A = this chain, B = another copy of it.
């Protein structure tokens, strides 16, 4: 016996059949809804050039990247150099989100439609500290529209994500909406210098996790004067009050344009799926550095953290090509959605295991079992052949273990007559059935 651990790596999971089936259930809804909005699928490689990934997620993000160690000559050269650093040892990394690969794709394929509407459902990897609902390998379900600054695009990505959640049975989620330009106006008004805006937003982004005092403490630690932090939080809290957005939109100055933009977005979305869920939240910051306009985040009662988020990022694609291309997107986090659905028992009955265990009696040759199973499968049935020779009791116990609702008993008598003794394991009902009527028997009782 080896001493190798057989557990999955920290923060990663094996998905056995019941997990896979629940994940597929959710992903099927995501896919159907995203396609109903006219989004088309994209898949990108797991491994990206590190230079594609670095500098897009902020310094904290860069720290969480999985890097691929050089191989063969490249590794030998790096090691021979004497004192290699992290950057000498790797120039490839694992996908960290789905937005940066999209930006690369838009820059690479010049014949994409003027408005490229794509969805992408793939895992991403972050070497983060694992916690409840936070993994190192997890799926994101993204929709993005590139090539337009239209408010319709903002409303459509919000609508698509809202429609997915409704399609899954969620009613009580909120889509928090804010605007990076509005945040900037607040930050400036609080006396924080422009170059420190990023630091302030990273602290503010933790408001729901570490609370008001936690944010003030983090701002103080980062060297902001105490009254700056207090002024910022106070102003944001005031902006939360009813009518504040309308008031700011009516008042000339740096708050006006982004407030108007948000008011327009909420108005455009008012008869779509996001209607009852979208709320203006001036304290919403979002951690990622590439957002430029409206930003979004979904919360749900009882869930710490968010089920997804997004926003407008008009400068990111321009980092990969001469011409800037505006874009907006929304990312749904599969793991969080599953977590809440699990806790609330929101899954319909899901079943994909074998429906019938074919039990061959000892005197029936193996080729006959294969022949009969082939005929049953041709009727659309999911059939497992019990592989070993065993007595009936053992085989029926096994049928229960694998959750097969029916057993098909094949003895020499049945073989001679072209029948099966079909047994419904829940009721004990058993009937001699012609092989080609097996699916009729099963479907009538399923």
A-B contact pairs, 16 of them (CB 8 A): A4-B319, A13-B45, A14-B45, A16-B42, A20-B43, A23-B43, A38-B404, A46-B94, A47-B125, A66-B68, A69-B90, A150-B366, A150-B388, A152-B387, A269-B367, A271-B367
Q: How many residues belonging to A are interface residues under a CB distance threshold of 8 Å?
A: 114
Chain B neighbourhood of A368, CB < 8 A: 271
With A46-B125, A377-B163 as known contacts, state yes or no: A371 contacts B4, CB within 8 Å.
Answer: no
**A106-159 CB contacts (< 8 Å) to partner B:** 107-109, 113-115, 117-118, 123, 125, 127, 136-137, 145, 148, 150-153, 155-156, 159
Query: Contacts A6-B107, A42-B14, A67-B69 given: A370-B83 contact, CB under 8 Å?
Result: no
Q: Give, as a whole number of angstroms, the nearest-CB distance from A107 to chain B.
A: 4
Segment among A48-56, A222-230, A338-346 that sits at the interface with chain B: A48-56
* Assembly stoichiometry (copies): 2
* CB-CB under 8 A for A367 and B268, given A2-B319, A41-B17: yes
In contact, B384 and A38 (Cβ under 8 angstroms): yes
CB A139 to nearest CB in B, in angstroms, measures 10
A105 touches B14 (CB 8 A): yes
Q: Which of B270, B370, B380 contacts A268 (CB 8 A)?
A: B370
- Residue A320, interface by CB 8 Å: yes
A68 touches B71 (CB 8 A): no
Seed contacts A35-B352, A271-B367; 15 additional CB < 8 Å A-B pairs: A8-B45, A9-B92, A12-B47, A16-B105, A17-B40, A37-B377, A38-B384, A41-B352, A46-B125, A69-B69, A79-B85, A113-B398, A115-B398, A117-B384, A156-B385
Q: How far is the CA of A115 from the CA of B386 in the complex (A)?
A: 9
The verdict on A268 contacting B107 (CB below 8 Å), with A41-B21, A387-B148 known, is: no
Determine the chain B residues whose CB is within 8 A of the CB of A43 once the complex forms. Answer: 14-15, 19-20, 23
> Any chain B CB within 8 A of the CB of A84?
yes
B268–A137 CB distance below 8 A: no
A1 to chain B, nearest CB (A): 4
Q: When chains A and B are docked, how far (Å) is the Cα of A352 from the Cα of B104?
A: 23
